[in-house]
Chain A
Amino acid sequence: MKLLIVEDEPVIARRIRRLSGLILGDRLEQVTVSNTLESGLAHLEKDEIDLLLLDLNLNGASGFDLLETIVARPFHTIIISAYTDKAIRAFEYGVLDFVPKPFNQDRLAQAFGRLEPGSAPSNGQVRYLAVQKRGRHVLFDIQDLTYIKGAGVYSELHFQDQSVEIHNKSLDALARLLPGHFDRIHKSYIVNSTLVRELAVASGGKYSAILKDGTDLPISRARYRELRKKWGD
């Protein structure tokens, strides 16, 4: 796993690096420390990473402006900050976790745990998904989402107005961020369950969810029973 730590306090950066090593062990492939946002972003241009550990306040510069651009990227972001009052806003932008300072190894391990497949998703407070469009970043309200279709390392965001946007995070990565009413119905689909009109079973044991606008999405056999229970038939 490749880590980027953006932190202007050298002792704290050293602490994050040391604790990450203890938590991840052999899985840790590479750690880079940047003490400014600029050098951090420069690193992102050159190298791919799996996880960004970001301090929101670097020498007085607010990290929120850059958070928008960062959450559109494929990797996950964990905020490590002294400003716990900023946590809700950070979650709204789609960060995986918010670790308040001061933190110990257990708390950092818990944050890393959210990366594991099958782990509990983030607290689902994300409100926007940032999409990179022609070099700009546009925030979309997830309330407008109908469903998301996985497309390899990308995802297609389908909106109620029939528009489609491409997100740089994989369907798996998005699944960790989205709130509870977004359900994984298939290897390649996440649906906004508030928009499901009915479940249908076609001949040949083909299961599907029919949405209010008539869209027909496949449901994998393995998930059908679970979903019926959850959605209350």
Chain B
Amino acid sequence: MAIRQVFPLIAWLLAATSSLCAQHYLRYPYERLIRMGDHREWAAPGLDDRDWDKSGSTREAGNFWVRFKVRCDSITDTYSVPGMQVISLGSYEAYWDGVLIGKNGVVGTTLKTEIPGTFLSWLPVPDSLTRHGVHTVAFRVSNHHAPHWGISSWNLFYLEEYRLTQVGDLKLTARIFVLAGIYLMAGLYYLFLYLFRKREWVGLIFSGICFLFFGLVAMEYLKFLYAYPYPFHYTRLMIIYGITFLLAFLVPRFLLLYFDLPHKMIWSLVSTGVLVMISLLFLPGTDSSSQFLAGGMWLISLSIAFAAVIRKRPESKLILAVLIGIGALNGLYHMAFRSLLFTYDITVFVSFSILVIAMMYLLAMRSREQKRAYESSLVLSSRLQNELLRKHIQPHFIMNTLTSLMEWVEESPNDSVRFIEALSGEFEIFSAIADKKLIPIEQEIRLCRYHLEIMKYRKEVDYQLEITGINPEETIPPAILHTLVENGIMHSLPDKENRIRMKLSFRQTDRSRCYELKTLSLARKKGNTADGTGFRYIKSRLTENYGDRWQLDARPIPEGWVTTITIDNAAQ
């Protein structure tokens, strides 16, 4: 059902990105010549620039010129106002066939004299300059504000209807931000869930992933909303790179924790190693470095999903299919779009959205599982409560006790009063503890003592309970020691002095605490096994409170029988 609800969202997402395919006619002169230095005559269309650098970008900071050839023909005639969208990592002056048509910032020869222009800028081109034929566009650029860590500066433009792409970009950005808002909300929701409901790492990681993804989208599309000065472009790229790195770290981490695979340490080391290696191989802050990080994340996630499928983890096949689907989609997009500004954005955006939706589905599944587990634990608790009460009103105990009591009343009224007191004492404690999961050990011991008193009147055996080392602060599930005492009574024969002695001791270590009940007597032929009804009750109670962090051991010793309950401290 979750899949079906998710489909329209994916369809909308694809529609949002595919609007980019609607091509309007624009000229994109990719070939450009670059030369360091600053000479006004380099604006001239007839300049002999055959010895200029064809790479189109420079890693140096300073002054340089970039020259383009652009053709005007019937296509450019369709523009009512021809214009240029310039993307420039430097302040510039633009010359069309040697005529200055616009400026961005102030070109200077030093850091001080240059005033940075914006990364994106728009210039109208006068009609008089766009006659049919090939024209020369030259930019006089200074990039003194570019960082000096080897990242390149460049400068290029589209020839198009004046400011038309700007309108298209804003429309797309508006749509993308609606979706980004969804991730912001999801991030907040899971953060609150983590803070106020269940402290689960996967939930918190997912919240982090949503926030980071929101941040990634916001940073990516900031360029269309905010005409920032070009030096900020490098900062922005580094932020995007940082976010991508964190996402590439967190997404596999999420899957690892969700599928609860063994060797988490090895997985973490290997995946971190891969990401660090990518960071070292590719210069941080470039589009390709972020792309490779995303690719690395995809590969690691795919391996984790594959390992999860092998280990037959629930939903692992779905995640594997989603990841393979994302891989296929990326390949497809890569072929379909070659637009410089968008390749990374679109693949990352679409892929991440699908992945985030799949993760949300996983969390929903887990939440359902937890709800079920919680409900069945409620059932277990009420069943145990029921069992505890039944234990006390079961006919064997109550009817035999009452029959014995009748005899005491008729034969020895004074003793029968003490008998009744013990019985009411036991009843009182039972009704007080019936709905508790844990009770003070001291209350449990009083329960045992009342029970032995009752049994003394019934069996006419001198039951003795010695207690050592008990810490009255401790708590214990109700009627556990009581059950052990009951078993001791049932399976023991009194000694020559008509006694059955029991020793309850308590030991505490760094790792665990341990209750031991020794019954010092002859055992009946039928030894007590660890599988009887009483033991089943004890085991259920221990599981209810401590999960699997306990042991129950019962074995014969020369002087009788010993039962040990060990509870790990970590289970508290």
Contact = CB atoms under 8 A, between A and B. Distances in A.
B403 A12 contact: yes
Nearest to B394: A82
B158 interface: no
Contacts of B458: 9, 11
Interface residues of B, number: 22
Nearest to B524: A59
A60 B490 contact: yes
A84 B395 contact: yes
Interface stretch (B38-46, B97-105, B210-218, B404-412): B404-412
A82 B398 CA distance: 8
B148 interface: no
The residue in A18, A82, A100 that gathers the most chain B C-beta atoms within 10 A of its C-beta is A82
A15 B524 contact: no
A102 B395 contact: no
Contact of B407 (A11, A60, A83): A11
A101 interface: yes
B526 A102 contact: no
B526 A101 contact: no
A180 interface: no
A101 B459 CA distance: 16
A202 B408 CA distance: 64
B399 interface: yes
A177 B269 CA distance: 82
Contact of A82 (B399, B405, B411, B524): B399
B397 to A, nearest CB: 8
Interface string A45-83: 000000000000101110000000000000000000011
A14 interface: yes
B471 interface: no
A83 B396 contact: yes
A82 B400 contact: yes
Nearest to B455: A9
B64 to A, nearest CB: 98
Contacts of A61: 526
Contacts of B407: 11-12, 14-15, 18
Contact of B402 (A57, A83, A101): A101
Interface in B427-471: 457-460
> How many residues of A sit at the interface, in one of the four size bands?
10 to 19
Contacts of B405: 102
Nearest to A56: B396
A111 B167 CA distance: 104
B395 A11 contact: no
A14 B460 CA distance: 11
Interface string B377-420: 00000000000000000011011101111111011000000000
A101 B394 CA distance: 12
A10 B459 contact: yes
Given A12-B407, A15-B406, A83-B395, A101 B400 contact: yes
Interface in A5-46: 9-12, 14-15, 18
A231 interface: no
Given A11-B408, A11-B457, A15-B403, A59 B490 contact: yes
Nearest to A103: B403
A69 to B, nearest CB: 19
A104 interface: yes
Interface in A88-112: 100-104
Contact of A101 (B399, B411, B457, B524): B399
Given A11-B408, A61-B526, A102 B402 contact: yes
Contacts of B491: 59
Nearest to B404: A11
A203 B490 CA distance: 69
Contact of B400 (A9, A14, A18): A9
Interface string A199-219: 000000000000000000000
Contact of A100 (B399, B410, B524): B399
A227 B314 CA distance: 77
Given A12-B403, A15-B403, A102-B406, A82 B396 contact: yes
B390 to A, nearest CB: 14
Contacts of A83: 395-396
A56 B29 CA distance: 103
A8 to B, nearest CB: 8
Interface string A137-149: 0000000000000
A12 B402 CA distance: 10
A106 B403 CA distance: 14
A73 B7 CA distance: 79
A38 to B, nearest CB: 9
B404 A9 contact: yes
Contacts of A84: 395
Interface string B144-165: 0000000000000000000000
Nearest to B457: A11
A10 B460 contact: yes
Given A11-B408, A12-B400, A15-B406, A82 B395 contact: yes
Given A11-B459, A57-B396, A82-B395, 6 more contacts: A9-B404, A9-B458, A15-B406, A60-B490, A101-B402, A103-B403
12 contacts: A9-B404, A12-B407, A14-B407, A15-B403, A15-B407, A60-B526, A82-B395, A82-B396, A82-B400, A83-B396, A101-B402, A103-B403
A-B complex: 5 closest residue pairs judged by Cβ atoms: A82-B399, A15-B407, A102-B403, A82-B395, A101-B399
